[in-house]
Amino acid sequence: MDKPARKRGRKAKNATDAEPNPNSTTTATTSTAPAAETVVASLNAASDTTTTDRRGSKRRRKAGKGKDDDVAIVTSPERRTSRYSEHNGDYDVTTVVPEVPPRWESVGKVVPSMDAVVKVFCVHTEPNFSLPWQRKRQYSSSSSGFIIGGRRVLTNAHSVEHHTQVKVKKRGSDTKYLATVLAIGTECDIAMLTVSDNEFWEGISPLEFGDLPALQDAVTVVGYPIGGDTISVTSGVVSRIEILSYVHGSTELLGLQIDAAINSGNSGGPAFNDKGECVGIAFQSLKHEDAENIGYVIPTPVITHFIRDYEKNGEYTGFPILGVEWQKMENPDLRMSMGMGNEHKGVRIKRIEPTAPESNVLSPSDIILSFDGVNVANDGTVPFRHGERIGFSYLVSQKYTGDKALVKILRNSKIHEFNIKLATHKRLIPAHIGGKPPSYYIIAGFVFTAVSVPYLRSEYGKDYDFDAPVKLLDKHLHAMAESVDEQLLVVSQVLVADINIGYEEIVNTQVIAFNNKPVKNLKSLADMVESCNEEFLKFDLEYEQIVVLRTKTAKKATRDILLTHCIPSAMSDDLRS
| Ramachandran angles phi, psi of 328, nearest 5° | -65, 150
- Is the model more confident about 8 or about 151? 151
- Is the model more confident about 79 or about 256? 256
Residue 220 — pLDDT band, cuts 50, 70, 90? very high
According to the model, what pLDDT value does residue 54 have? 39
According to the model, what pLDDT value does residue 103 have? 52
d(C-alpha 322, C-alpha 325), whole Å: 9
Name the CA dihedral angle for 497, 502, 505, 508, rounded to a multiple of 10 degrees: -80
Helix, strand, coil percent values for the chain (each to nearest 5): 20, 30, 45
Count of beta carbons in the 10 Å neighbourhood of residue 280: 28
- Is the model more confident about 203 or about 425? 203
Question: By the 8 A CB rule, do 306 and 145 touch?
Answer: no
- Is the model more confident about 408 or about 93? 408
DSSP state of 321: B
Q: Which of 91-105, 357-371, 513-527 has the lowest mean pLDDT?
A: 91-105
Q: Which of 244, 314, 311 is nearest to 281 (CA)?
A: 244
According to the model, what pLDDT value does residue 576 have? 85
Angle at 66 between CA 60 and CA 70, to 5 degrees: 60
Count of beta carbons in the 10 Å neighbourhood of residue 56: 6
**Res. 51: pLDDT tops 60:** no
According to the model, what pLDDT value does residue 262 have? 84
pTM of the predicted structure, to 2 decimals: 0.77
**Res. 42: pLDDT tops 90:** no
In this prediction, residues 223-234 reach a mean pLDDT of 89
Which helix (H) or strand (E) segment holds residue 85: the answer is: helix 77-85
Query: Both ends of the chain: CA-CA distance in Å?
Result: 106
**Res. 323: pLDDT tops 70:** yes
In this prediction, residues 367-383 reach a mean pLDDT of 95
- Is the model more confident about 74 or about 474? 474
**Res. 357: pLDDT tops 80:** yes
d(C-alpha 167, C-alpha 179), whole Å: 5
**Residues contacting 359, CB < 8 A, separation 6+:** 323, 352, 353
According to the model, what pLDDT value does residue 200 have? 95
Please indicate whether residue 305 is annotated as part of the active site.
Answer: no
According to the model, what pLDDT value does residue 99 have? 58
Please indicate whether residue 189 is annotated as part of the active site.
Answer: yes
According to the model, what pLDDT value does residue 436 have? 87
| Ramachandran angles phi, psi of 339, nearest 5° | 80, 20
According to the model, what pLDDT value does residue 89 have? 42
d(C-alpha 154, C-alpha 160), whole Å: 11
Residue 460 — pLDDT band, cuts 50, 70, 90? very high
**Res. 569: pLDDT tops 90:** yes
**Res. 396: pLDDT tops 60:** yes
Please indicate whether residue 565 is annotated as part of the active site.
Answer: no
DSSP state of 12: P
**Residues contacting 157, CB < 8 A, separation 6+:** 184, 185, 186, 188, 189, 190, 191, 248, 249
* Catalytic residue (choose from 144, 267, 397, 524): 267
200 forms beta bridges with none
According to the model, what pLDDT value does residue 41 have? 38
According to the model, what pLDDT value does residue 36 have? 37
d(C-alpha 169, C-alpha 172), whole Å: 9
User: CA 49 → CA 54, 82, 102, 216, 460, distances in Å?
Assistant: 16, 21, 19, 30, 59
**Residues contacting 490, CB < 8 A, separation 6+:** 448, 449, 451, 472, 508, 509, 510, 511
Q: Which of 5-14, 186-195, 234-243 has the lowest mean pLDDT?
A: 5-14
User: CA 303 → CA 181, 205, 398, distances in Å?
Assistant: 16, 19, 11
Q: Which of 76-80, 281-285, 363-367, 474-478 has the lowest mean pLDDT?
A: 76-80
**Res. 332: pLDDT tops 80:** yes
Q: Which of 329, 349, 492, 473 is nearest to 407 (CA)?
A: 349
According to the model, what pLDDT value does residue 98 have? 53
Residue 102 — pLDDT band, cuts 50, 70, 90? low
Residue 289 — pLDDT band, cuts 50, 70, 90? low
In this prediction, residues 2-17 reach a mean pLDDT of 46
Structure confidence by residue, pLDDT tens digits, 135-176: 999 999 999 999 999 999 999 999 999 999 999 999 989 999
**Res. 86: pLDDT tops 70:** no
According to the model, what pLDDT value does residue 285 have? 83
* Catalytic residue (choose from 124, 142, 158, 492): 158
Residue 112 — pLDDT band, cuts 50, 70, 90? low
d(C-alpha 180, C-alpha 197), whole Å: 11
**Class of residue 35 by CB neighbours under 10 A (exposed 0-12, middle 13-18, buried 19+):** middle
Per-residue HEC secondary structure of 370-421 comes to EECCEECCCCCEEECCCCCEEECHHHHHCCCCCCEEEEEEEECCEEEEEEEE
